[in-house]
Structure 1
Amino acid sequence: MAEAQILEGSRWNFSQNFLNDFQYTHSDLQMHIQQATQSGSISKQALDSLNLQLAELSKSIVDAAGFIPKYDQRKCENQLKEIEQNLERLRKTSTPVSRFAFKRKTKEARQSSFSVFTPSVTQSLAPTPSLALSSYTIKLITPKDLPDPESIAPELRSELSINDLDSCILNLLDAKQYEISALHIHNIKNSILLLPVLEGSAILHDLVNCVVVVRCHQFRMHSSQDIDVYLSIQSNPIIEHCSSIRFAPYPSTFPPTNLQHNSDFPVQDFSHIKSTPSPNWSVLVEGASKSFEDWQSILTIDASDVEQVLRKALPRV
């Protein structure tokens, strides 16, 4: 009995680690394909590098079969098919160039000698997540603004998309009924984001003058500026094409109160691959971070006071 429990615990740990690593690589690959698609041109070397990452990702799913839940395996396979189709579309529509260099940024531990292959397209794109918040201005947003969880299939509740907010306060600290494990956030301005505790990743693009509070396994921010990030994380946070990003520990006033709060942030800046300190981020100095009273005013805000609280709380007034 004890041996069976140990085996089950090991299987669960493997499953969680695999899914976290898979989502990290999947998101990284998506980002580079999107960048190449927007530029309209890509070199053969860069395309081969993308194909290699896709091959590694495909083999990792095959190797993990039988060790992860069937639902998670199907979800990973659908995400892989989406990447296959996007990459195939990129190959057909891009104009070849000779000076585009693609640098791989996956974890060193995942590097291996898998052979390069050209993926085939077998199915259409996977459906986009049904759980989404989009297009709000000067609004207090809470879990009440999310769709009724009973109206969403359980497999579609784990990922939340947040897009196009301006001058909003979003408080999803109590959105436990959705079991959100991953966040995809785009185009947020002059806003405060109090995000749910995540077992997976928070991936943020195009934020300006915001406060972000999150506890997650992986944190990635792209093309953002003037952001205060209050963070608890199990890996190194990553930024790219960012400036004036300030990091601070996750507020001790927020649940869970028994959290081991980080005091050191070994941030990886993909736009500053040098031995010198990055000029794009810093640690929020003591006295500049928000106090207990500051957080309480945000947590207890009335919908009519959004603009007033934002004027006091944002990094750039």
Structure 2
Amino acid sequence: MTVESNKIVNSGLDVVTPNNKIPITNSLNQNFQTVTLNYKQNCYISVNSYLTNLEEPGEKVMDFQISNLDHCIVNLVSSNVTIGAIHIKGLKDTIIMSGPVRSSILIHDCERCVFLIGCHQFRMHTSRQMTIYLHTTSHPIIEDCNNILFAPYTLSVPSLGNMFEAAKLDPTNNKYDKVEDFNWLRQQASPNWQTVLENKILKDWPFLHVDDPKDEETVLNVLNEILGSQLIS
């Protein structure tokens, strides 16, 4: 089905919203969907901007496949949806903000990005100059990565406790700094990652309660300010 203006028209399995053209694949379970975000630049994307048109009674679970974004801010924080998993590939100069994820986050081929994410299992491959604000209940794994910063998850929204519960994630158990580098098997600390200094930790995340900032210049200014202050140069 597709969304046209404010109505839903049956035309197969893909759903495209009028504002941000996000394709959604429905499964037989009406409360589960896979969302693909790809090939976008210089834009802001919010999960809430299209959830209201598609929301069904009961728990909504979404998996996200995100690829080939450049200079974007992606806001996946919503009390109306539980994220099952996130697969990310080929992002540059992009910020992702997400609520707790029920299973895993897998990242490939990204550079100069800042992610705010929580999950049971975190893996990142072939990426560089990344800052990850992370909550994970298992040891994060990196491979073929360099200039990576890790910090504790600093999302602060009123519904955060319910979001942790929906994701079956223990908010008191965070192993964000127990990183295993598969390219560094020595006893000494890996040179490929470090933790963010306490006075550099970002706590005020932009646009968490905004579905559409409308002003592209403002979005890009905020994006560049955060990337400039949060990445290893």
Change (3 A) 1:150 1:291: closer
Where do residues 31-110 of structure 1 align in structure 2 (5 Å cutoff)?
none
C-alpha distance in 1, partners of 2:180/2:52?
Answer: 35
2:133 is paired with a residue whose SS is strand
String of CA shifts for 1:115-136, please: whole Å, max 9, x gaps. Answer: xxxxxxxxxxxxxx84211111
For the aligned residue pairs, the C-alpha RMSD in angstroms reads 2.9
1:139 to 43, 46, 55: 43
1:165 is paired with a residue whose SS is strand
2:225 is paired with a residue whose SS is helix
C-alpha distance in 2, partners of 1:184/1:176?
Answer: 20
1:260 is paired with a residue whose SS is coil
Change (3 A) 1:264 1:165: closer
1:260 to 158, 172, 178: 172
1:312 to 202, 225, 228: 225
C-alpha distance in 2, partners of 1:264/1:310?
Answer: 24
What's the offset of the Cα at 1:196? 3.0
What's the offset of the Cα at 1:277? 0.7
Matched, 1:286 2:207: no
Contact 2:140–2:176 (CA under 8 A) maintained in structure 1? no
Matched, 1:219 2:132: no
Instruction: Name the one with the larger strand percent.
Output: 2
Instruction: Name the one with the larger helix percent.
Output: 1
C-alpha distance in 2, partners of 1:196/1:253?
Answer: 10
C-alpha distance in 1, partners of 2:44/2:144?
Answer: 29
Give the TM-score of the pair, scaled to structure 2. 0.69
Residue matched to 1:299? 208
Change (3 A) 1:223 1:263: closer
2:109 is paired with a residue whose SS is strand
String of CA shifts for 1:244-285, please: whole Å, max 9, x gaps. Answer: 111111105245158337376110001111111100000101
C-alpha distance in 1, partners of 2:53/2:209?
Answer: 23
Matched, 1:189 2:92: yes
Gaps of 5+ in 1: 1-70, 72-128
Tell me how many residue pairs correspond in the alignment: 183
Identity across aligned pairs (percent)? 32
Change (3 A) 1:280 1:146: farther
Change (3 A) 1:236 1:189: same
String of CA shifts for 1:94-139, please: whole Å, max 9, x gaps. Answer: xxxxxxxxxxxxxxxxxxxxxxxxxxxxxxxxxxx84211111010
C-alpha distance in 1, partners of 2:193/2:52?
Answer: 36
Residue matched to 1:242? 145
Contact 2:62–2:84 (CA under 8 A) maintained in structure 1? yes
Q: Which amino acid aligns with 2:72?
A: C
What's the offset of the Cα at 1:211? 0.6
1:307 is paired with a residue whose SS is helix
C-alpha distance in 2, partners of 1:164/1:147?
Answer: 26
Give the TM-score of the pair, scaled to structure 1. 0.52
C-alpha distance in 2, partners of 1:149/1:170?
Answer: 19
1:287 is paired with a residue whose SS is helix
C-alpha distance in 1, partners of 2:63/2:175?
Answer: 28
Q: Which has the larger radius of gyration?
A: 1
Gaps of 5+ in 2: 1-27, 165-170
Change (3 A) 1:175 1:206: farther
String of CA shifts for 1:270-314, please: whole Å, max 9, x gaps. Answer: 11111111000001011111143xx2x443562421110011101
What's the offset of the Cα at 1:199? 1.3
What's the offset of the Cα at 1:160? 1.6
